[in-house]
Structure 1
Amino acid sequence: MALRFGIEEEYFVVDPVSREVVPGAGAVVRRASAALGERTSTELVEFLAEAKTPPCDDLDKLGEQVHAMRAAMAAAAAAEGVRLAATGTPVLGEVVPAPIAAGARYAESRAVYRGLDDEQSICSCHVHVEMPDRERAVQVSNHLRPWLPTLLALTANSPYWAGRDTGHACWRVLAWSRWPVAGPPPFFESAAHYDDLVGTLLGCGALMDTGTIFWDVRPSARLPTVEIRLADVATTAADATVFAALVRALVQVSSDAVEAGVRAPDPSPETLRAAYWLAARDGLTGRGMDVRTGRPAGFGALAGDLLAHVLPALREAGDLDVVTRGVRRLLAGGTGAERQRRAYRRRGRLTDVVDAALLHDR
């Protein structure tokens, strides 16, 4: 039986005229909650609104939920006189210092992380995949590590930051990497090893609490899932669901390997960091690194390797055709970052980039 999975997405609140980011998430979320209930929420920064799907057991259901979720959020934003844009970083607007939401937790975050909070206007996509227990989630995390740079290259959707082209395909991951506990997770021998390290980080003050463990893969603190958190929010619902299906297949293959007693590869932190940077700079068009071998490899070729690696799980779940077409579409037509730049080149207007990323209430 296929593993249950779900998606969390963050969106920028933008002014419909200037297309600049504006602080209006609270009103949007309050209105959207009539349709989504607790599946919508605010974030640290008032530019951001979040929504999530319920757990789903097949890709068609997940796709329906993502479309419905985005439509509900778009309708709520329109009713409040704003719009929502699905980009990993803010394309236009004055974003530093960011407007921090009210509340005791966010005030504590400001006290601990200080200037980091002021610059964290970023939108990501998190995929949760159900796990039988935390031990399995931690061991699966080990098996996912070699594939994280390739997943990052596939989902790059943040080339612009506040009116400028950063030259990178995924600027969000570089901004995010400054946090003390972020990026690719370490290799863990067990859940106890994970808990020991988290305890050390809590004890020294590098973590405010377990909710601020921002590794790109982690066992969820609230749900019986492994959470994959490295992707930019996708421009389209179709891209989001393809990514979720690919992640679920990778988790399934990894879980099967854990059950069979296969030890995960353990690429060094240095090679993972370098591969991340290369993926963030150039996306799928770049020549990156295969961290399993330490040798140069194009991320397009590595995407093909990933598809081959997860093919049995995709076939078993009935997702093979959808995911194969989706990955081929990205390889042929470009990632979100490439599409953003094409939107800009048509008339040289960043407002066109925002317009191409707007959610619609349909």
Structure 2
Amino acid sequence: MNPCRPEEPPTVGVEEEYFLVHPGSRAVVPASARVVARASAALGEDVAGEFTEFQVEGRTQPCSGARELRAELCRVRTALADAARAEGLRLCASGTPVIADADADVSGDRSGDSTLTYISDHPRYRAGVLQYRSMLDDFAVCAFHAHVHLPDRETAVLTCNHLRPWLPLLVAMSANSPYHRGRDTGYAGWRAVIRSRFPCLGPPPYAASLAEHERLATAMAATEAMLDPGMPFWDVRPNPHLPTLEVRAMDVLPDVADTVALTLLIRALVATAASRAAAGDPGPRTGAELLRAAYWRAARDGWPGHGADPLTGRVLPYAVQAQKLVGHVRPALRAYGDEDEVTAFLDRLASRGPGAERQRARMAAEGRLSAVVDGLVRETCPDR
């Protein structure tokens, strides 16, 4: 993408993480290796394991527009749902496990030198356990990551500066984790709270250049606050392996239409920010303290609540902040033909609520968490 020409739509891609749940107990089940092995026949490298054996990850191919992205997401979800069903399980898009068996601790047995029971067998995950220890005991969380094609890493870092103030709004709009292992947390997005304990997660630091961005990551890795400076886990980053800017703040969403629309909104935001960065605009120097507070408020209240607007410091309804964002990126939305998709998404948020609100509505209507899980499973892959 030429960042100075937002009329040329960059391609987008999505990574989504899902839980594997038992259709009877609705608890998470450590079966990712079996499900990934089955699904790989249809998906190849577009499926992978995740941090715990309770999770699987699906990846789309790069897409040019809404129709293609929707088809890709349905392709991936269908193959994963079919693989899960073949193992007697269901695919569930929730930011945190709604229900977990009492003995299904993420960490497993920590006595002596025993292997941690439910951590997937990957060197990076094992290194994380050694480094972060009990901070990872309940780190089973599912996200959706939006990738926007942006091969110039210098421009990508400067673009991050422009995206930082909007990240809390993305947390609020995508909040889909009010329940955690059998209890109502009182939050809309508990996944964001779990992640906030880590010094290497959350909004990226302001960086005036790619070199400064890399120096900060290297310094954090030297303190052991970050595993690998070449793979920082900040909520916006130039992807270490792909020519994309990756936005990672969002809970996984159960409704494919919502994922498509939010991805297109993020594309318009990235394109607008990249154009400004290429024109010499360094982006707002939003203070880390206000940004952290805005994240917390977004995780607690979510849509349709109120939260801090990091650009002004004022507490505003998220619906108002969303309209500000749409106005900010409207030229790109119109140039790419995406305005109607985004408007429909905002209308859905207003009429039926976000994921967290729908989860609580099911609990209020039926009085059991199993109904919450069943609703999520139906939304995740309606045809399965």
Q: Give yes or no for TM over 0.5.
A: yes
- 1:79 alignment partner in structure 2: 86
Q: 1:312 aligns with which of 328, 331, 346?
A: 331
Q: 2:72 aligns with which of 57, 65, 85?
A: 65
TM-score for the superposition, normalised by structure 2: 0.92
1:210·1:221 contact (CA, 8 Å) conserved in 2? no
2:19·2:54 contact (CA, 8 Å) conserved in 1? yes
What do residues 168-193 of structure 1 show as CA deviations (whole Å, max 9, x unaligned)?
A: 00000000111121111111000000
RMSD (CA atoms): 1.3
Quick one: percent identity of the two aligned structures? Answer: 47
What do residues 299-348 of structure 1 show as CA deviations (whole Å, max 9, x unaligned)?
A: 11101111111111110111111111111211222110000001111110
- 1:327 alignment partner in structure 2: 346
Alignment of 1:12-23 (within 5 A): 12-23=19-30
2:23·2:89 contact (CA, 8 Å) conserved in 1? yes
Equivalent residue of 1:180, what SS?
coil
Following superposition, the deviation at residue 212 of structure 1 comes to: 5.4
Whole-Å separation in 2 of the counterparts to 1:264 and 1:24: 44
Whole-Å separation in 2 of the counterparts to 1:245 and 1:15: 33
Q: Does 1:136 align with 2:145?
A: no
Following superposition, the deviation at residue 255 of structure 1 comes to: 0.9
Q: Does 1:178 align with 2:200?
A: no
What do residues 273-294 of structure 1 show as CA deviations (whole Å, max 9, x unaligned)?
A: 1111111111122221111111
Whole-Å separation in 2 of the counterparts to 1:16 and 1:146: 40
Whole-Å separation in 2 of the counterparts to 1:354 and 1:43: 20
One-letter amino acid of the counterpart of residue 136, structure 1: T
1:278·1:286 contact (CA, 8 Å) conserved in 2? no
Whole-Å separation in 2 of the counterparts to 1:35 and 1:231: 27
Alignment of 1:1-362 (within 5 A): 1-94=8-101, 95-98=104-107, 99-210=118-229, 213-358=232-377, 359-360=380-381, 361-362=383-384
2:220·2:229 contact (CA, 8 Å) conserved in 1? no
Q: Where in structure 1 do 4 or more consecutive aligned residues deviate above 6 Å?
A: none
1:123·1:232 contact (CA, 8 Å) conserved in 2? yes
* Structure 1 gaps, min length 5: none
What do residues 33-85 of structure 1 show as CA deviations (whole Å, max 9, x unaligned)?
A: 01110110001111010001011111210111011111111001001111110
Q: Note closer, same or farther for the CA distance 1:26–1:295 as it changes in structure 2 (3 Å cut).
A: same
One-letter amino acid of the counterpart of residue 146, structure 1: P
Whole-Å separation in 2 of the counterparts to 1:115 and 1:207: 16
Whole-Å separation in 2 of the counterparts to 1:254 and 1:221: 20
Corresponding residue pairs, total: 362
Whole-Å separation in 2 of the counterparts to 1:268 and 1:199: 21
Whole-Å separation in 2 of the counterparts to 1:134 and 1:12: 33
Equivalent residue of 1:332, what SS?
helix
One-letter amino acid of the counterpart of residue 321, structure 1: D
Equivalent residue of 1:128, what SS?
strand
